[in-house]
Amino acid sequence: MEYYPVKLDLRLDWSEMDLFGHVNNVSYFKYVQASRVNYWDAIGLTQLFKETKVGAILASTSCNFLKELHFPGNITVQVKLDFIKNTSFGLKHQILNKHGEVAAEAKDVLVMFDFTKNEKVPIPENIRLQIVKLEGKLPA
């Protein structure tokens, strides 16, 4: 079983239901977004952006839908580092239903970006250190 160091518990909302009686696929991306930001908070990226205007931009995201989610209910979205390069890194998310079953798996690719200079930049060393602290190590 894979280790996911950052978890976020969310309550499903009735407004997320679609015509077919299950949570709409668009909502899954909202859950992944909340998970992504939660990870940013955990590694200090949100604070870095507030102080320096250096942060991450989303280059791509994808989701594989494995099980339906239904209201009422709660989910857990968990996230871990998928890869890390010089200016980009990837996150892997799992959305777990109320029974702990994987309802969806998603991946993000993020690029470090200086919003003042309007250009991509290397991942700061202090962010890399926070990722290692959180994850235990960097992926091979």
The pTM of the full predicted model, rounded to 2 decimals, is: 0.94
Which contacts (CB < 8 Å, 24+ apart) does range 61-65 have? 61/29, 61/32, 61/106, 61/107, 61/108, 61/109, 62/106, 62/107, 63/25, 63/28, 63/29, 63/32, 63/104, 63/105, 63/106, 64/104, 64/105, 64/106, 65/25, 65/28, 65/103, 65/104
In tens digits, the chain (140 residues) has pLDDT values of: 789 999 999 999 999 998 888 999 999 999 999 999 999 999 999 999 999 999 999 999 999 999 999 999 999 999 999 999 999 999 999 999 999 999 999 999 999 999 999 999 999 999 999 999 999 877 76
pLDDT digits 0-9 by tens, 17-52: 988 889 999 999 999 999 999 999 999 999 999 999
Query: Which structural domains are found in the chain, ordered by start?
Result: 6-135 (3.10.129.10)
Q: According to the model, what pLDDT value does residue 36 have?
A: 98
